[in-house]
Structure formats: structure tokens, C-alpha cells
Structure 1
Amino acid sequence: MLRALICAGALAVPLTAAAFTGGDLNKLCTRTDVASRSACAAYIEGAADGVYNTIDAIGGTTGPRVGQYFCLPPDTRTQQMTDAVRKYVAENPNSVNYNASTVIALGLGKAFPCKPNE
């Protein structure tokens, strides 16, 4: 019986999973309740860490490299990152259809570009 439940659950997950888009992220980030604001900030920070760590794994983040989207100053605050991503979505309406992590990387890249000596 347990085996049947596990199999049924495994089959149901792919059918219900959907990509979290830039539009979904923007909707989350425009909400004013504490839980939504915290979820927005956590998602953006997590995606930024993920992109950074991926670039580090394929060649380092000690300077602009192929695929490095952004260079965050050490004192960057979460709200600055959120504002940068929301501004990017506002200025690029088609980005609502992109994957949310792509929108985050592009938004942070626009606001926090890497300088040649970084």
C-alpha cells in the first residue's frame, strides 16, 4: 500500500509542477503582507546565490566571466535587490514570461553590472 502511495505521489508531482515566472515573482513582490514580502526577498536572495554559485563552479566569480550576470557590492541590501528586479520587470514587460531566476539575474545585472576590474 505504501509503495502504491509513493508511486501515485511521484506521478502527480510532475503534472502539478509549473515554472515560477517573472510575472509570478512580481505579483508576490507587490503584495504588502509580511509573509509575501519575506518570501519575495528570500526567493531573490536564493536565486542570486544560486546564479553566483553556478558561475563560481564553472570558472569563478573573481571577475567578469562569460555568463557572470552581476557583481553585488558587499553592502548590498535585500531591498535594493528586490527594487532592482521589480524595476527590470517594469521596464521589460516581456520578462513576465521568463523564468523568475532569469529575471532576477537580468535585473541584478542591469542594476549591479560587473566592472572590468572586478
Structure 2
Amino acid sequence: MLRVMLCATVLGLPLTAAAFNGKDLVKLCNRTDVPSKSACQAYIEGAADGAYNTIEAIGGTTGPRVGQYFCLPAGTTPDDMTTAVRKWAAGNADKLDYNASTVVALGLGASYACRSEP
């Protein structure tokens, strides 16, 4: 029994080590079924939230900070964010091997660039 569990674990490792990249995100977001659309939107929201929390931890989100790719204006909807990421991905196929969360940050940055404080 222990041998079977060990073999199953070893065989499963390559599957869990694969990173979710931009190509995977685009495939997910291009699907038309409701669960896929929801998963796409949830991933983008989660990645954006993670980036926001990281920036907050290193000094705040008011104005451009080191590593801050985007500044979402009040009222930005999940649909707006998904559209921005999909638009960026469509024009940057050469960058879709990047990690999916990086693709989200770059896509949002293209539509919601931070403005310098006066």
C-alpha cells in the first residue's frame, strides 16, 4: 500500500510542477461556457488583488511605486479587467509564456497605467 501511494505521488509531481502561464489563461478566457468565463474572471481578480496587496505591503498604492504595474480607478469592474487583459494578450502573443499573474499585471498596466503624482 505504501509503495502504491509513493508511486502515485511521484507520478503526480510533474503535473503539479507545471506553471499556469499566459497561454493557459488565454485558453481559459477564450472558452464560452459559464464556468470557464467565471474561472477566467476570478483568476484575473485574484491576481490583481495579490499584486495590490504586495504593493500595499511595500509602501502603499497611492501613485506609482516600484513594481506597481497598474492603478485601477474606482469603479473598475471585473469585466473591465478581463477585457483589458484579453486585449493585451491578443497583441502580445510573444509574452504569453510568462506566468499568468505576470500577464495579468502587464495587461492591466497597459489599460490602467499609474499616473505620476503632481
TM-score normalized by the length of structure 2: 0.88
Spell out structure 1 runs of 4+ moving beyond 3 A.
7-14
Q: In the TM superposition, what whole-angstrom CA distance separates every residue of 1:51-86 from its partner, at most 9, and x where no partner exists?
A: 111111112112211111100011001111111111
**CA distance, structure 2, for counterparts of residue 65 and residue 8 of structure 1:** 47
Superposed CA offset, 1:9-42 (max 9, x none): 6655532221001011011001110000000000
5+ residue gaps, structure 2, are none
Return the alpha-carbon distance in structure 1 between the equivalents of residues 113 and 14 of structure 2. 38
Query: What RMSD, in angstroms, separates the aligned Cα atoms of the two structures?
Result: 1.9
Q: How many pairs align? A: 116
Taking a change above 3 Å as real, the CA distance of residues 16 and 92 of structure 1, as seen in their structure-2 partners, is same
Aligned amino acid, residue 54 of structure 2: T
Consecutive unaligned residues of structure 1, counting only runs of 5 or more, are none
- Identity rate, percent: 60
- Closer, same or farther: CA 8–103 of 1 in aligned 2, 3 Å: same
**Structure 1 residues 48 and 9 mapped into 2: Cα distance closer, same or farther (>3 Å)?**
farther
Trace 1:87-106 onto structure 2 (pairs within 5 A): 87-106=87-106
Alignment TM-score, normalising by the size of structure 1: 0.88
